[in-house]
């Protein structure tokens, strides 16, 4: 009976030894795993084996709870084994770590009297280095302990019964891709993987290290020829030991795989628990990315706005001096005129003259205006010119285009007038390509009377004498009812009644200039009367004052009408576009007045009050003496008129700014 029990016991022991020889496990995280924990070691809620996370000088142990048989009972040699684990280490100081962590094979899970800090929770001052320890370990050390002959910090070492490593190397891995070694920082806080492999047949221990995002290198970090049978007993425990120093350090093991007599199963990295946040709490991306981007965008927008405002101010910059304040009500803002004309767009262009371009505009009040851009004549005092513009702006007559105001910008003046929807009279008289309707004689005669009434107002009825100096068909504007209104007072001159007008530059339009102007330079209402006479002939004959393409005797309109008057065929000069649809008496009156007003002697010309009385039929038609054409002198005009031998010229007058 005793032999039966003895045989059963031997078989059971052999079976148990066989089972232990085949020990293997794989932990992709430690959640729910039965581990033997001691000291600071703990398993976190998400399955991380936490070996240290404090500044206290304490130890931490975490072991597989069952004994493992490493020795082949028949040969007495240590069996081949393999293990791999993923770990991470961090410190409050990025360049200074703690004692570290060690993978350990030991006959016991308890280490009475073991010291923390550099002793890694395995030894003390009395037992360190003793052959009776039977401890084999692989340390991951981040401190250089000179007492243990450590190489510089951040190293991996193989320890046998002591912390003076049998072999050690700086933490690194061999990059197969780059064919070189790449250094690692053990306390970077990034997960890394360590492989420890022992070949029982070759008596060789290999240690390999690499980041988790790199495959296992083909060349190990440490390779040591050693027969572990000399140092190990049977059975033994496997696990981890660590200790802390005065620094706040954290040691984590995320997964662990172990196998006797074979290769440890690969860890599933994707299934490993996530490391907790280490170091200061990272600021939300809104602070690290969002706010800087928003801030930079706001700065760029602010710069753009400033540039836009500065550019806009420059764009709309005006010249405004103190003395102009009295003309405030008549001064327009350049910005308003710019917007009104859509940026002086060519689509809003009404016409082009010698003094500038005229644009249609709509003010913020919805009022339609005509804006004329004039290059200011620097020869005349700006102050005097603005004063005259302001004065002309006070003119109010049903047959005068109202000058609403002005704007001064750099060397440019902008004059703002009431808008005349039908444009200028000359387009109706001479433009063959226009789609404008023909003017009947009744409409023409009404326009003539309107312009005459306007000139009478300027010469005699306003507070000052105003000489327009540019009376012509292109400066007579037509409103929507085709009423004539005298406009464009850009050349007008004002002087007080009874005052002797000053000499001025000879300005005006070729064909309308009074001959005496080139000799005296004196401004007087008779100049407007002369131009009005030429205007009357334009209206009656439908011809411009000078027609270069006409026959020699018909080039100058006045000469041609004089010749027809003398031959008794004055009605032959009537505009054929009227097709004989006119009042003969009115036509003869207009032709006679045209010749009478165009006399070369200023005093022989009627005043505008007399002209208005003739047109209104208040007095009989004037009688004209026999008129003769001129014999032109080189410095004078192409014709003379009147019954005087005194020559007069309009053709070769000196022009300045004619339109």
pLDDT at 9: 45
186 is a domain residue = yes
pLDDT at 323: 57
- 182 burial (CB, 10 Å; 0-12 / 13-18 / 19+) is middle
Cβ neighbors of 121 (< 8 A, separation 6 or more) are 39, 59, 60, 61, 111, 114, 115, 241, 242, 243
In the residue annotation, 470 being an active-site residue is answered as: yes
Question: Based on the domain organization, do 638 and 495 belong to the same domain?
Answer: yes
Question: Based on the domain organization, do 312 and 339 belong to the same domain?
Answer: yes
Question: Based on the domain organization, do 474 and 410 belong to the same domain?
Answer: no
18 is a domain residue = no
Of 11-15, 255-259, 382-386, 582-586, the poorest mean pLDDT is in 11-15
Query: What are the backbone dihedrals phi and psi of residue 167, each rounded to the nearest 5 degrees, phi first?
Result: -150, 140
Of 47-56, 130-139, 428-437, 535-544, the poorest mean pLDDT is in 428-437
Percentage of the chain beyond pLDDT 70 is: 81
279 is a domain residue = no
- Tokens 């490391």 belong to residue: 275
pLDDT range class, residue 404, cuts 50, 70, 90: confident
> Do residues 436 and 382 lie in contact, with contact meaning Cβ atoms separated by under 8 Å?
no
> Do residues 467 and 527 lie in contact, with contact meaning Cβ atoms separated by under 8 Å?
yes
d(CA 245, CA 225): 33
Averaged pLDDT for residues 281-306:
78
Which one-letter DSSP state was computed for residue 80? Answer: P
pLDDT at 316: 62
More confident residue, 288 or 333: 333
pLDDT range class, residue 650, cuts 50, 70, 90: very low
Query: Which spans in 567-641 are helix H?
Result: 584-597, 608-615
> Do residues 341 and 407 lie in contact, with contact meaning Cβ atoms separated by under 8 Å?
no
pLDDT at 430: 86
Q: What is the CA radius of gyration of the chain?
A: 57
Question: Based on the domain organization, do 35 and 171 belong to the same domain?
Answer: yes
pLDDT range class, residue 260, cuts 50, 70, 90: very high
| pLDDT higher than threshold 90 for residue 229 | yes
Question: Based on the domain organization, do 450 and 598 belong to the same domain?
Answer: yes
Averaged pLDDT for residues 114-129:
87
299 is a domain residue = no
d(CA 136, CA 104): 6
pLDDT at 17: 45
Domain of residue 521, residue span:
422-659
pLDDT at 574: 94
Question: Based on the domain organization, do 143 and 229 belong to the same domain?
Answer: yes
> Do residues 525 and 467 lie in contact, with contact meaning Cβ atoms separated by under 8 Å?
yes
| pLDDT higher than threshold 90 for residue 656 | no
pLDDT range class, residue 629, cuts 50, 70, 90: low
| pLDDT higher than threshold 50 for residue 406 | yes
Q: Which of 419, 441, 470 is the last residue of a domain?
A: 419
Q: How far is CA 105 from the centre of its chain?
A: 68
pLDDT range class, residue 325, cuts 50, 70, 90: low
d(CA 220, CA 210): 10
Query: What are the backbone dihedrals phi and psi of residue 624, each rounded to the nearest 5 degrees, phi first?
Result: -105, 135
Averaged pLDDT for residues 527-536:
95
Cβ neighbors of 437 (< 8 A, separation 6 or more) are 428
More confident residue, 521 or 156: 156
Residue 134: Cβ within 10 Å count: 16
Question: Based on the domain organization, do 559 and 631 belong to the same domain?
Answer: yes
Question: Which pLDDT tens digit goes with each residue over 374-396?
Answer: 765 544 456 666 777 777 788 89
| pLDDT higher than threshold 50 for residue 333 | yes
Containing 535, the helix (H) or strand (E) segment is helix 525-541
- 446 burial (CB, 10 Å; 0-12 / 13-18 / 19+) is middle
Question: Based on the domain organization, do 355 and 463 belong to the same domain?
Answer: no
pLDDT at 392: 79
Question: Based on the domain organization, do 362 and 412 belong to the same domain?
Answer: yes
pLDDT at 381: 55
Of 313-322, 517-526, 543-552, the poorest mean pLDDT is in 313-322
Averaged pLDDT for residues 419-438:
81
pLDDT at 403: 85
β-strand 167-170 against 155-160: which pairing, if any?
Answer: antiparallel
434 is a domain residue = yes
Question: Based on the domain organization, do 256 and 358 belong to the same domain?
Answer: no
pLDDT range class, residue 534, cuts 50, 70, 90: very high
pLDDT at 633: 32
Into how many domains does the chain fold?
3
Domain CATH number, residue 351: 3.30.200.20
End-to-end alpha carbon distance in the chain: 145
Average model confidence (pLDDT) across the chain: 83
Domain CATH number, residue 441: 1.10.510.10
| pLDDT higher than threshold 70 for residue 287 | no
- For 320, the 3-state DSSP assignment is coil
Question: Based on the domain organization, do 173 and 41 belong to the same domain?
Answer: yes
Question: Based on the domain organization, do 567 and 437 belong to the same domain?
Answer: yes
Instruction: Identify the top-confidence range among 10-24, 327-341, 446-460.
Output: 446-460
pLDDT range class, residue 657, cuts 50, 70, 90: very low
- Angle in degrees, 0-180, between the axes of helices 608-615 and 525-541, rounded to the nearest 10: 30
| pLDDT higher than threshold 60 for residue 451 | yes
pLDDT at 354: 59
525 is a domain residue = yes
Averaged pLDDT for residues 157-185:
93
Following DSSP, what letter does each residue of 56-110 receive, concatenated? S--EEEEE-SS-B--B-TTT-PBPPEEEEEEEEEEESBTTB--SEEEEEEES-S-
Of 87-96, 265-274, 533-542, 641-650, the poorest mean pLDDT is in 641-650
Beta bridge pairs of residue 413: 374, 408
pLDDT at 254: 96
Containing 254, the helix (H) or strand (E) segment is strand 249-260
Averaged pLDDT for residues 264-291:
79
Q: Which of 268, 285, 320 is the last residue of a domain?
A: 268
Question: Which pLDDT tens digit goes with each residue over 74-105?
Answer: 889 999 999 999 999 988 776 666 788 999 99
pLDDT at 651: 26
8 is a domain residue = no
pLDDT range class, residue 412, cuts 50, 70, 90: confident
Of 210-224, 545-559, 622-636, the poorest mean pLDDT is in 622-636
> Do residues 102 and 139 lie in contact, with contact meaning Cβ atoms separated by under 8 Å?
yes
d(CA 136, CA 122): 11
| pLDDT higher than threshold 70 for residue 235 | yes
> Do residues 41 and 161 lie in contact, with contact meaning Cβ atoms separated by under 8 Å?
no
163 is a domain residue = yes
> Do residues 200 and 78 lie in contact, with contact meaning Cβ atoms separated by under 8 Å?
yes
Q: Which of 470, 488, 528, 575 is catalytic?
A: 470
Domain CATH number, residue 192: 2.60.120.200
Q: Which of 386, 419, 452 is the last residue of a domain?
A: 419
Following DSSP, what letter does each residue of 266-287 receive, concatenated? PP-GGGSPPPPP-SSPPPPHII
């Amino acid at each position: 009976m005793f032999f039966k029990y003895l045989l059963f016991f031997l078989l059971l022991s052999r079976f148990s030894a066989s089972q232990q020889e085949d020990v293997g496990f794989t932990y992709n995280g430690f959640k729910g795993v039965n581990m033997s924990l001691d000291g600071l070691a703990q398993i976190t809620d998400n399955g991380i084996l936490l070996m240290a996370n404090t500044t206290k000088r304490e130890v931490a142990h975490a072991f597989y709870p069952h004994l493992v048989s490493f020795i082949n009972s028949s040969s007495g040699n240590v069996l081949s084994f393999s293990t791999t684990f993923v770990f991470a280490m961090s410190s409050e100081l990025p360049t200074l770590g703690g004692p570290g962590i060690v993978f350990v094979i030991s006959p016991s899970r308890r280490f009475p009297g073991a010291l923390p800090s550099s002793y890694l929770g395995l030894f003390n001052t009395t037992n360190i280095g003793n052959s009776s320890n039977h401890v084999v370990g692989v340390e991951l050390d981040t401190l250089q302990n000179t007492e243990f002959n450590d190489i510089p910090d951040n190293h991996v070492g193989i320890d046998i019964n002591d912390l003076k490593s049998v072999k050690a190397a700086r933490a690194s891995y061999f990059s197969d891709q780059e064919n070189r070694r790449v250094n690692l920082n053990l306390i970077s806080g990034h997960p890394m993987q360590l492989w420890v492999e022992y070949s029982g047949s070759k008596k060789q221990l290999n240690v390999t290290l690499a980041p988790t995002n790199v495959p296992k290198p083909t060349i190990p970090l440490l390779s040591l020829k050693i027969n572990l049978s000399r140092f190990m007993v049977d059975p033994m425990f496997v696990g981890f030991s660590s200790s802390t120093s005065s620094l706040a350090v954290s040691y984590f093991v995320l997964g662990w795989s172990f196998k006797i007599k074979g290769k440890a199963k690969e860890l599933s990295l994707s299934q490993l628990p996530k490391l907790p946040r280490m170091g200061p709490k990272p600021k939300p991306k809104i602070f690290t990315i969002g706010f800087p981007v928003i801030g930079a965008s706001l700065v760029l927008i602010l710069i753009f706005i400033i540039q836009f405002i500065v550019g806009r101010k420059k764009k709309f910059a005006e010249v405004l001096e103190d003395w102009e304040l009295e003309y405030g009500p008549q001064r327009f803002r350049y910005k308003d005129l710019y917007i009104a004309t859509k940026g002086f767009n060519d689509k809003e262009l009404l016409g082009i003259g010698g003094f500038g371009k005229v644009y249609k505009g709509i003010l913020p009040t919805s009022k339609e205006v005509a804006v004329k851009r004039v290059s200011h004549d620097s020869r005349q005092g700006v102050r005097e010119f603005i004063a005259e513009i302001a004065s002309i702006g006070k003119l109010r007559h049903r047959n005068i285009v109202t000058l609403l105001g002005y704007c001064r910008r750099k060397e440019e003046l902008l004059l703002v007038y009431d808008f005349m929807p039908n444009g200028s009279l000359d387009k109706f008289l001479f433009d063959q390509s226009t789609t404008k309707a023909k003017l009947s004689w009744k409409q023409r005669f009404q326009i003539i009377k309107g312009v005459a009434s306007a000139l009478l107002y300027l010469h005699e009825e306003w507070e000052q004498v105003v000489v327009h100096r540019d009376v012509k068909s292109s400066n007579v504007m037509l409103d929507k009812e085709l009423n004539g209104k005298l406009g464009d007072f850009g050349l007008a001159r004002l002087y007080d009644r009874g005052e002797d007008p000053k000499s001025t530059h000879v300005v005006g339009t070729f064909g309308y200039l009074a001959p005496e102007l080139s000799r005296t330079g004196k401004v007087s209402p008779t100049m407007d009367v002369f131009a009005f006479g030429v205007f009357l002939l334009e209206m009656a004959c439908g011809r411009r004052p000078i027609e270069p393409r006409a026959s020699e005797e018909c080039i100058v309109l006045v000469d041609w009408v004089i010749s027809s008057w003398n031959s008794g065929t004055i009605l032959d000069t009537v505009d054929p576009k009227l097709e004989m649809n006119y009042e003969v008496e009115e036509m003869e009156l207009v032709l006679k007045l045209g010749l009478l007003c165009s006399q070369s002697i200023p005093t022989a010309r009627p005043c505008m009050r007399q002209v208005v009385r003739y047109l209104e039929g208040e007095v009989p038609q004037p009688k004209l003496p026999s008129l003769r054409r001129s014999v032109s002198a080189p410095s004078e005009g192409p014709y003379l008129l009147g019954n005087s031998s005194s020559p007069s010229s309009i053709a070769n007058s000196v022009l300045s700014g004619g339109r």
